[in-house]
A and B are shown apart, each in its own frame.
Chain A
Amino acid sequence: MFSYVIRRLLGAIPTVFVVVTVCFVMLQLAPGGPFDRERKVSPEVLANLQAKYHLNEPLFKQYGYYLNNLMHGDLGVSFRYADWSVNALVANALPISLTVGGIAMILSLLIGVSLGIVAALKQNSLADYLVMFLGNFGSAVPSFVIGPLLILVFCLWWQWLPFGAFTLTAPYMILPVALLTLINVSTLGRVMRGSLIEVMSSNFIRTARAKGLPMRTIVMRHALKPALLPVVTLLGPLAISSVAQAVVTETMFAIPGLGRLLVNGAINRDYTLVLGLVILIAVITVLFNLMVDIAYAMLDPRIRY
């Protein structure tokens, strides 16, 4: 087990390396220098600035500095937010994103899995139709359409919930969490339903029935664990897509998290901020995928690592 984890960790290094290199190349290819402004700085000042940030040295050396800083966890200095390092901006935004995203993830797992179980056991029931409908709905109606509709109905027409600002309190978090949960449940429910139906028709379940076990025991003790495996596999892609969802949701609900920081950085063309965030998010996703794979290997007795 230990060697498997180490092997996978080492395997993740090339991924991160590719991301960092792509980011560095893009930084070089980007039109305009980092110190281009509407008002030109004098050549001497520019030369000083370039010397300070090593921009006057050969590319491979700059790359070395860049890697070195990253190794030390330094994502650089924002080009647009005065007095802010990327690290400080991230430190403010990351907890907010993690809270909202984490609550949504836990809720969607609970709701998605239970809905999927009910739908699979009682096919053509109300829960089954709900899962199918959500699956269709989630694949067609984009989140940036569902979100404003939620705001329109709950905040503007019925005025049940506040809107416009954001704090980490329940009234402000209900809608964003609900939106993220809805989107995830649409995939999770469908997958859980499909996999449980498949498991329920397999031989060992027939044996369990033949032994005369009650339905409850069959599902809870025998069917649930193998049926959950595809859901675990889905967590990786789900985490990746929730980055995109987070970007949209945070912009829509004015949540000061990583996603909004990223969009604002992109709109202001804050190169270092965007690059730092991309590297950070990429590393987080890679690590998360790694954990999912390891969890999978631990859950599935058929996998020998």
Chain B
Amino acid sequence: MLFSKAKRQQLAQTLSTADPGLVAGRSPWADARIRFRRNRAALISLVILALIALVIVVGPWILPNSYDDADWSVSAPMAPSLTHWHWFGTDDNARDLLVRVLVGGRISFMVGLLGTLVSVVIGVSWGAAAGYFGGKIDALMMRFVDVMYALPFMLFAILLMTFFGRNLVLMFVALGAISWLDMARIVRGQTLSLKSKEFVEAAHAIGVSQRAIIFRHIVPNLLGVVVVYATVTIPNVILTESVLSFLGLGVQEPMTSWGVLVQEGVQNMDAAPWMLLIPALFLSLTLYCANYVGDGLRDALDPKDR
């Protein structure tokens, strides 16, 4: 479109004085936000997750019981009741189950977040490097990812826990180290398309180092995809941690997580079914909601579905 100078000035005048809501374009993020809000299931799931997160963070501070002290004033195990704040009852060691579930939730959430962080760091670096360098290096790096894909990841989790003991920090690393494969594949694909963009060529032309190009120019442009796949990874990491804890290879007593609590519940399910049912409910609800939120985010941000 070609406009005369007068027309252009007039247009600029109209645009600058017009109601901003009328003409303002929407950023892709705003678009995504609107799409996500329309997704009722994802929105409800997000609210439930936020509530669970709030309760597990605040709960243990407010409640009078502690997660590792036995309350000998009541019988053990005691069914859920309103006395002594034992709303979820007590376990076979007379410890308050409500606080234990909340503290276990803290650990499960923390493992989910930190494990995902580790997987993001490894996956993004690996994928970006493979995509950026291309050629033989790419083929070799992605061949490694293929090899890892063909193997049961649970084996690696168990292997890592066997050799490096059952230490919480190592567990984050171990869980992250086995869940970065999808991330690496997705990031590589995105990097391949970003690599040929003009701004990367420009950076290359003015002599920016390859390392700096990857981390300053390519990785920031991957953020959208990375955020989405990180949300999808979180429930998987939480699930893996619970499985390991359930098997006795994860979090150790007296510290607890939902996997440990389910395991303790299994030991006592005949006498105290609430010890199994309550943590199981929390874990399942969290995983269910997190899956919905992840799917919702993916639908909202995935450019393919527009």
Contacts and interface: CB of A to CB of B under 8 A. Distances in A.
Interface of A: 14-15, 18-19, 23, 26-27, 29-31, 136, 139-142, 144-145, 148-149, 151-152, 156, 236, 240-241, 243-244, 247-248, 251-252, 262-263, 265-267, 269, 271, 274-275, 278, 281-282, 285-286, 289
A142 B249 contact: no
B143 interface: yes
A240 B153 CA distance: 8
Given A30-B164, A289-B150, 16 more contacts: A31-B165, A140-B284, A142-B239, A142-B284, A145-B283, A148-B266, A149-B280, A151-B266, A151-B269, A152-B269, A240-B150, A240-B152, A247-B154, A267-B248, A267-B249, A278-B155
A263 B243 contact: no
Contacts of B242: 142, 144
Contact of A26 (B163, B246, B269): B163
Nearest to B239: A142
A252 B266 contact: yes
A282 B284 contact: no
Given A156-B270, A240-B151, A140 B162 contact: no
Interface of B: 143-144, 147, 150-155, 158-165, 239, 242-243, 246-249, 259, 262-263, 265-266, 269-270, 273, 276, 280, 283-284, 287-288, 291
B151 A19 contact: yes
Contacts of A244: 152-154, 243
9 cross-chain pairs, A with B, having the tightest CB-CB distances, nearest first: A140-B288, A244-B154, A243-B152, A30-B163, A266-B162, A145-B280, A148-B266, A15-B147, A141-B284
B159 A23 contact: yes
Nearest to A136: B288
Contacts of B265: 148
B243 A248 contact: yes
A236 B247 CA distance: 25
A263 B262 contact: no
Contacts of B270: 156
A57 B151 CA distance: 31
A140 B291 contact: yes
The secondary-structure label for the interface of chain A is: helix
A268 B130 CA distance: 39
Nearest to A142: B239
B269 A156 contact: yes
A152 B150 contact: no
A251 B247 contact: yes
B152 A241 contact: yes
A23 B287 CA distance: 32
B181 to A, nearest CB: 12
A265 B162 CA distance: 8
B151 A274 contact: no
Nearest to A30: B163
Contacts of A247: 154, 158, 243, 247
Contacts of B161: 266
Contact of A148 (B164, B239, B262, B283): B262
Contact of B150 (A15, A26, A266): A15
The secondary-structure label for the interface of chain B is: helix
Contacts of B165: 31
7 contacts: A14-B143, A15-B150, A140-B291, A144-B242, A148-B280, A156-B270, A248-B243
B284 A145 contact: yes
Nearest to B154: A244
Interface centre among B143, B165, B243, B248 (most CB of A within 10 A): B243
Contacts of A140: 284, 287-288, 291
A280 to B, nearest CB: 10
Interface centre among A241, A244, A266 (most CB of B within 10 A): A266
B93 to A, nearest CB: 19
B285 to A, nearest CB: 8
A263 B284 contact: no
A275 B270 CA distance: 36
A53 to B, nearest CB: 18
Nearest to A29: B163
Contacts of B262: 144-145, 148
B249 A263 contact: yes
B152 A142 contact: no
Interface centre among B144, B154, B270 (most CB of A within 10 A): B154
A182 B200 CA distance: 50
Nearest to A148: B266
Contacts of A263: 158, 247-249
A156 B273 CA distance: 11
Nearest to B289: A140
Nearest to B295: A139
Nearest to B242: A142
Contacts of A241: 152
Given A142-B239, A240-B152, A148 B159 contact: no
Contacts of B153: 240, 244
Given A145-B262, A152-B273, A263-B249, A271 B243 contact: no
A274 B249 CA distance: 13
A213 B61 CA distance: 70
Contacts of A149: 276, 280
Contacts of A271: 162-163
